[in-house]
Amino acid sequence: MYHLKCVLSSWVSIQVIITQVWSQGVSPPLDVRVDSVVHWSRATDRPDLTYTVQSKTNDGKWQDIDGCVQTKNTTCKKDIRGGCVMVRVWAQQGNKTSEAIEACRHATSCSPVVQLTAQSGLLLVNWRKDESLSAEYGSILQYHVNYSREGEELQYDSISEHPVTLQGLEVGGRYCVQVQYQCYHKPFGTHSRLQCVSIPESERAKHIRTTLISVLIPVFLGAVAIFLIFLFYKHLEKLKQLRPRALQLPEHYEEFFFQDFSQQLFFTNSYSDEHYDTVSSVLDEDDQVDSGPYGTRPQLV
């Protein structure tokens, strides 16, 4: 029983170690640099590690460099020419790959670092100059600016050594900009990432719009109220005709229910306060003469 527990414990420990090793990512290559060839250093000494090198084209796509795909070497001996070239290298072990490390030739970055500032009707395109490129090429190095409305193909362009101001842009429209180095009137390096911004209103236009809204809304509401009052008085007689009439009894019903009833009520009220003796019998005048206090008086013959 004790030996079985030891075996199970050892098996669990081995599984944990294997899992930890397997879960660790592949270490990327170190010290990637570019001159006429691409160089890098190994991060680990694993014999099964391979490396792949790609270069970035002028249209911003990555493509494999021939002879440098899943190689065990630490150098890509493909002759690289053409000025500023951007490459990336990553390590691979089985189905697992490392992070890709990028590097450029002759520059900190093969793409200009662009900053956009939007104002009313215009867009200021600025960039951060690369010191190494500026020192090497001077005024020969220029910037090729492409821009258009968002969703449209980049077609408008401007070439300058200094920041560019794009004017005549529609307020509220959204415009996208992309910049690339140009050297000896030819594209140099790769395009910057596409950046899009909206053109805002000027503060003066906002103030005018707010003032107009605050004035026109009360005027509009007042005009609507006057119009409704005019319509009411114009159709007042028609509105009166539409009003339901009060229920009215015919005249003979009124005479029956109100006139006769009021007369009966009058007589009843006028005699209700008088008191009368009860009549038990009625005598003629002759009978009253003949009758005395003691009965019937005898007649004399």
Q: pLDDT over 90 for what percent of the chain?
A: 17
Q: What is the CATH number of domain 113-198?
A: 2.60.40.10
Mean pLDDT of the region 246-261: 62
pLDDT tens track for 98-121? 999 888 776 556 778 899 999 888
pLDDT exceeds cutoff 70 at 257? no
Name the residue with higher pLDDT: 285 or 102: 102
* Tokens describing residue 87: 């490459």
Q: Where are the domains of the chain?
A: 26-104, 113-198, 203-240
pLDDT tens track for 160-213? 888 999 988 988 899 999 998 888 787 777 788 889 999 988 777 667 777 778
- 26-104 and 113-198, same CATH topology: yes
Name the residue with higher pLDDT: 164 or 281: 164
Domain 26-104 CATH superfamily: Immunoglobulins (2.60.40.10)
The length of the chain is 301
